[in-house]
A = this chain, B = another copy of it.
Amino acid sequence: MTDYEFDTDTAVERLADGVYSACVADRWSIGQVPNGGYTMAIAQRALLDSLGRPDPLTVTAHFLRPPTAGPATLHTEQVRAGRRTATAAVRLEQDGVERLRLLGIATDLSQDGGTEGFRAGDPPDLPPVEECQRISGGSPSVDGPSISARFDVAYHPEHLGWARGEPTGRPEVAAWVRLADGRQPDVAMLPIVVDCMPPTAFELGAVGWVPTLELTLHVRSRPAPGWLRCVSRSRFLTGGLIEEDAEVWDSADRLVAMSRQLAMVPAPRA
């Protein structure tokens, strides 16, 4: 662990077998609400520590109630311990109320992580970083999300139509992504990386609060140092629900992670 912002703000302290304490910071929020991927990253720390394995493999988070900045208690339950993988559930509570439930598998990716057997997909086609678009202040629906100061995100110049008041109608967003303080990427960061861009629903004109019900992250390899490239796409908005599929690629052109989340999109005002 280091003194970088992300490591300080996701640290967990083991109090007893299966019990951890953490402090949810106010530096990764959108409005007053800590980002879902950020609280998931805290819970993932407890998951990995409790299982004694370095890497997440598949982690599902259910966002039950909005967390707040302040102390949190985490309870881990080992579900299965195998040779190659182990499984645990994690509850993140604040003021005695569960905010987040995790169910995930941990493993050691140092052996075979990233070996390619088949690939039908490439990193997102992004112009050079300097030709991409930075935004500050994030969503127009909230005042200056603190999370936007933690990240250095350079978006595809043809995306982010909503920020120009002209949603593109294509629910896709791609960007170069790194932490602003120079911390290099690793698997601990991935939950917040897949959740750090504005919702794709914004490009459909649904700019506002798009609460995520569930997010599942698949980790494919440990990221190489340098910029990450992220892309997030949706294909179906039905019954007020949208799926958001993200991919994370590293500087060595390797697929690092895939995620899918299910989010609620408020009906447009008539």
Number of A interface residues at 8 Å Cβ cutoff, please give it. Answer: 50
Interchain nearest-CB distance for A169 vs B (Å): 9
- Cβ of A243: which chain B residues have Cβ within 8 Å of it? 218, 258
Q: Does A113 lie within 8 Å of B80, measured CB to CB?
A: no
A128 at the interface (CB under 8 A from B): no
Q: Does B236 lie within 8 Å of A221, measured CB to CB?
A: no
Report the stretch among A24-32, A54-62, A142-150 that lies at the interface: A54-62
Q: Does A114 lie within 8 Å of B236, measured CB to CB?
A: no
Chain A residues 233 to 270 lying within 8 A of chain B, measured CB to CB, are 234-243, 254-255, 258, 260, 262, 265
- Contact partner of A262 among B58, B80, B262, CB < 8 A? B58
Query: In the complex, which residue of chain B has the Cβ closest to the Cβ of A80?
Result: B64
Known A-B contacts A116-B238, A204-B117; A101 and B101 likewise in contact (beta carbons under 8 Å): no
Report the stretch among A15-23, A36-44, A118-126 that lies at the interface: A118-126
- Cβ of A121: which chain B residues have Cβ within 8 Å of it? 235-236
A109 at the interface (CB under 8 A from B): yes
Known A-B contacts A80-B64, A98-B79; A220 and B234 likewise in contact (beta carbons under 8 Å): no
A105 at the interface (CB under 8 A from B): yes
A76 at the interface (CB under 8 A from B): no
Give per-residue flags for A103-118: 1 if the beta carbon is below 8 A from chain B beta carbons, else 0.
Answer: 1010001001111111
**Complex CA distance for A235 and B171, rounded to whole angstroms:** 20
- Contact partner of A60 among B116, B117, B216, B241, CB < 8 A? B216
- Cβ of A57: which chain B residues have Cβ within 8 Å of it? 213, 241, 262
Query: In the complex, which residue of chain B has the Cβ closest to the Cβ of A259?
Result: B260
A184 at the interface (CB under 8 A from B): no
A232 at the interface (CB under 8 A from B): no
A230 at the interface (CB under 8 A from B): no
A85 at the interface (CB under 8 A from B): yes
**Complex CA distance for A114 and B237, rounded to whole angstroms:** 9
- Which residues of A are interface residues toward B (Cβ below 8 A)? 57-58, 60, 62, 64-65, 79-80, 85, 87, 89, 98, 101, 103, 105, 109, 112-121, 171, 204, 213-214, 216, 218, 220-221, 234-243, 254-255, 258, 260, 262, 265
